[in-house]
Structure 1
Amino acid sequence: MGERLYLYGIFPAPGPQHLALTGLDNQPIDSHTIEEFTFLFSAAKQERYLASRRNLLGHERVLEAAMQAGFQTLLPLQFGLTTEAWEPVQQELLVPNRDRLKQLFAKLQGRREVSIKVMWEPDQELETLMRENEALRLERDRLQGKQLRMEEVIGIGQAIEQAMEARKLDIIQALRTALNPLAAEVIENEPMTSAMIYNAAYLISWDEEIAFGEQVEALDAQFEERLRIRYNSFTAPYNFSYLAQP
């Protein structure tokens, strides 16, 4: 039984060779090619890797460094994947998925993943809503301080919730209109916090990133203090590398 190996990602052969990088556990990065596929790996010094911030960033840094070195087409592997030999990797990963892996390489050729996460301040947005919607504000004020029937409580609550949802959808539609035409593919993920209203990843051409970034900046200026937009312009293409059957 050989040394346990930690796997980072797969590249079209010949892929990165002799990268002067260190990965998890401060181990040097190496590569191994099986047919058309080249794996980046390092020696695994732990039986199981905890998904700590340090480990996750270490995994990501290896892939980003390879991309920055010019190897832009890659399939990132899930964090924590280790093996004691290459034979099960070939038989369990490559053999049943060879065609799909090639399809993913073709889709990702010349493209990169970028993402945005959009947050707002719910209390501030509600205050703005009440200033702008006089009828809703007057109804809310009329009911304040009164002993309300259940249907009144439900009614005003639903009206406010629907109005807030409409404001959120207006923002999301503005984002879609501005950004989606620049992308070959878009994946909208679930928001990660109660203040996050939009969380999306985009597959764009490498040479379109400047234009995409300018659109994000324009949206940030358009909504001023109303939104906080986090833009990640450089990441491994996790959202567009699933091995689900087409």
Structure 2
Amino acid sequence: MSNLYLYGIFPAPGPQNLELQGLDQKPVQTEIIDGFAFLYSEAKQDRYLASRRNLLGHEKVLEQAMRAGYRTLLPLQFGLTIDTWETVAHQLTAPHSDHLHRLFEKLSGHREVSIKLFWDSAEELKALMAQDAALRAKRDSLEGKSLSMDEIVHIGQAIEQAMNDRRESIVAAFQTTLNSMALEAVENELLTEAMIYNAAYLIPWDLESEFSQKVEWLDQQFEGRLKIRYNDFTAPYNFAQFDRG
């Protein structure tokens, strides 16, 4: 058999008659292995470059399946190809069946949403100095003076701590408002200097509208200080991890 590209795993019987187009414009099909339904297409390459086009193509297949009503899935990492289904059975489904079933139980009826928060650090620093009279006085008292290294470090640390406090107060407001709605929440790495929060939430499907309303409310509370990137529909990558050790 030729190589196959894998997208994700669903509870059997899995997606039916979706007529999706996968990578390399190949039709997406379903294969049942040990009671798990794998979404796959024929692979025309031995290795797939993690280009924007390929990554989006991978995501699109999963999202289209979810939109068609097959909401409970374990998304597989991009670029996974196999040459035989026996490999899948031997390395994944047979030894890790219990893990996979527990993940399906957790994900059933839930969806992943994500929030990324950005701020303008220069504007935040300007606002800090306008609002913090003590810090502003300390800075102003040093203007025009020849400063020692200790003095420079001291004022720099004070400003850095105050900026950290501002950042943490914003993050805490989001966590306090949103975390209670989630079965789980995962904080991910900050990807840019302007990003101050990057989190994914696993929430009940029918609570997304309420969740998004709370995100909008939080945005209003900060009166334009933040840029919020909210994704209300994505495959649950952050909550489909399991220990295969």
TM-score computed with the length of structure 2 as normaliser: 0.98
Q: Which residue of 2 aligns with 1:173?
A: 172
Letter in 1 for 2:126: E
8 Å Cα contact 1:13/1:35 also seen in 2: no
Report the identity percentage.
Answer: 60
8 Å Cα contact 2:34/2:89 also seen in 1: no
* 1:225 match: secondary structure: coil
* 1:224 match: secondary structure: coil
Q: Which residue of 1 aligns with 2:160?
A: 161
8 Å Cα contact 2:119/2:227 also seen in 1: yes
> Which runs of 4 or more aligned residues in structure 1 lie more than 6 Å from their structure 2 counterparts after TM superposition?
none
Q: CA RMSD in A?
A: 1.1
Task: Tell me by how many angstroms 1:224 deviates.
Answer: 2.0
- What is the total number of aligned residue pairs between the two structures? 245
Letter in 1 for 2:91: E
Letter in 2 for 1:126: L
Letter in 2 for 1:140: R
User: C-alpha separation between the residues in 2 aligned to 1:145 and 1:239?
Assistant: 51
* 2:224 match: secondary structure: helix
Residues 76-87 of structure 1 aligned to structure 2 (within 5 Å): 76-87=75-86
Letter in 2 for 1:10: I
Letter in 2 for 1:129: L
Residues 1-246 of structure 1 aligned to structure 2 (within 5 Å): 2-244=1-243
User: C-alpha separation between the residues in 2 aligned to 1:58 and 1:224?
Assistant: 37
8 Å Cα contact 2:34/2:94 also seen in 1: no
* 1:9 match: secondary structure: strand
Task: Tell me by how many angstroms 1:245 deviates.
Answer: 6.1
Mark the runs of 5 or more structure 2 residues left unpaired by the alignment: none
TM-score computed with the length of structure 1 as normaliser: 0.97
User: C-alpha separation between the residues in 2 aligned to 1:138 and 1:245?
Assistant: 57
Mark the runs of 5 or more structure 1 residues left unpaired by the alignment: none
